[in-house]
Amino acid sequence: MLQINTNLRPAAVQKAGLAGTVRSIWVHRWSIVGLLLAVGVVAWLLARWLVGPEVVVYPVVRGDLVKTVVASGHVETPFRVNIASQITGTVQDVLVDEGQTVKQGQPLIALEPSELKATVVAAEGAVAQAEARVRQMRELTLPAAQQALEQAQATLTDAQAAYQRAEDLFKGGFGTKETLDGATKNLNVARTQVRTAELQVYTSQPGGSAYVVAETELNQANANLGTARARLGYATITAPRDGVLITRNVERGAVVQPGTALLVLAPTGNIQLVLQIDEKNLGLLRIGQTALSSADAYPDQRFAATLTYINPSVDITRASVQVKLTVTSPPAYLRQDMTVSVDIAVDRRPSTLIVPARAVHDSTSSSPWLLVIRNGRAREQAVQLGLRASDQIEILSGLTAGELVIPVAAGVMAGQHIRPVTS
């Protein structure tokens, strides 16, 4: 039979009740934790709904928008000069090294000149001989011919007088036929001697055939001397213009032939950037467009270039078009065949409204729109788009400078409260 102890004190009763409560909480601890978490989530969602989440936003800015075509290529001069020998010879010395900067007229290669020097000496002797022949015509042959002419003319005068006397005597009956015939013969001989002497004088004076022959021989000798000296000059191969030697294919002792490239010179001056542009960008390119370029080895040092050539044909294997840009003031670090990256400015909008492309919804449709923050809420705003350049888009209408737009990836709905955070 159950007996109740009526002697328990009130303090003991309270202690027993507290212990029971603790045991009850411990037994239902997971339910209580779940309830508290649910209350916390509800409170967080309520606060998020009332205040809004933090969202990174972007301001609408006004600035210059430039659309570019980006490509990579290499550096080269507009042309390269293959330096070769003009004669067959043995290389006596190579006076330059690959990569060396040279000036126009600077000796590059020396060929063995002994045979060529001997040819020059022989040609100089032939010139001296021809000059002596011309001088002989002027100083000896012509004066002698003139004297012979004077003597022949005197003989002719005597022969004419003798003939006249013989003729007069014969007509008067005092002379014989033999005497007249002899005078006639002497007259004819004298006349022939005069004509011969006149011809000798004519051919010996400037413009005469003998003089012309002597002058022709002199001119030929001078021409041969010029050729011999030119060939001797070919024994020293010089730089045709200022530039940098980018290739050397010759060494001392080699036998060289005309037309074989011994050195390759990249002339100093304008430098070209040769690029392969994707065929789809061909319609954007125009001669005269400007570009900013940088060598891969010096990415922070950019330099200007101008589009000067667009190949009229398309490379069907790569679906690309070759273009060339001219660098009028190339930086000192540029080298032949260096790899470069180029941004060609194909369109430009000065002082226009710009937003990030990632903030535009339905950008390819006829009704693009953005979410704009107004009065703490996201509001849908229709816009008219203009130029698209990389990750930026021009806004023609619908927004004003300074407004904040929400990126598409933020997942914000129109009408939702948000807390904007500028990037």
The answer to whether 322 touches 274, Cβ cutoff 8 Å, is yes
pTM: 0.55
Q: Smallest Cα–Cα separation from 272: which of 218, 222, 334, 211?
A: 334
Which is it for the CA torsion 200, 201, 207, 210, positive or negative? positive
Residue pLDDT, tens place only, 321-331: 999 999 988 88
Q: What is the pLDDT of residue 203?
A: 82
Do 138 and 191 lie in one domain? The reply is: yes
Residue-number span of the structural domain to which 249 is assigned: 81-112+238-266
CA 360 – CA 264 distance, rounded (Å): 54
Residue pLDDT, tens place only, 65-117: 999 999 999 998 877 889 999 999 999 999 999 888 899 999 999 999 999 99
Which stretch of 70-74, 136-140, 214-218 has the lowest confidence by average pLDDT?
Answer: 136-140
Which stretch of 5-14, 180-189, 244-253 has the lowest confidence by average pLDDT?
Answer: 5-14
Work out the pLDDT band at 212, boundaries 50, 70, 90: confident
Do 284 and 367 lie in one domain? The reply is: no
Do 191 and 293 lie in one domain? The reply is: no
Q: What is the mean pLDDT of residues 200-228?
A: 88
Residue pLDDT, tens place only, 289-338: 999 999 989 999 999 999 999 999 999 898 999 999 999 888 888 888 89
Q: What is the pLDDT of residue 13?
A: 46
Q: Using the 8-state DSSP alphabet, how is residue 201 labeled? A: H
Work out the pLDDT band at 48, boundaries 50, 70, 90: low
* CATH number, domain with residue 398: 2.40.420.20
Domain boundary among 266, 285, 310: 266
Do 221 and 180 lie in one domain? The reply is: yes
Domain count, the chain: 4
Which is it for the CA torsion 238, 242, 73, 313, positive or negative? negative
What are residue 370's DSSP bridge partners? Answer: 381
Residue 16 has pLDDT above 60, yes or no: no
Residue pLDDT, tens place only, 147-170: 888 898 888 898 888 888 888 887
The answer to whether 124 touches 227, Cβ cutoff 8 Å, is no
Q: In whole angstroms, how far apart are CA 152 and each of 144, 156, 163, 186, 187? A: 12, 6, 16, 12, 11
Do 204 and 140 lie in one domain? The reply is: yes
Q: What is the mean pLDDT of residues 230-252?
A: 91
Domain boundary among 295, 313, 348: 348
Q: What is the pLDDT of residue 379?
A: 92
* CATH number, domain with residue 242: 2.40.50.100
The answer to the question of residue 294 being in a domain is yes
The answer to the question of residue 176 being in a domain is yes
Q: What is the mean pLDDT of the chain?
A: 86
The answer to the question of residue 39 being in a domain is no
Q: Using the 8-state DSSP alphabet, how is residue 411 labeled? A: -
Do 324 and 416 lie in one domain? The reply is: no
Do 102 and 248 lie in one domain? The reply is: yes
Q: What is the pLDDT of residue 46?
A: 55
Residue of higher predicted confidence among 35 and 82: 82
CA 341 – CA 292 distance, rounded (Å): 9
Do 99 and 149 lie in one domain? The reply is: no
CA 385 – CA 382 distance, rounded (Å): 10
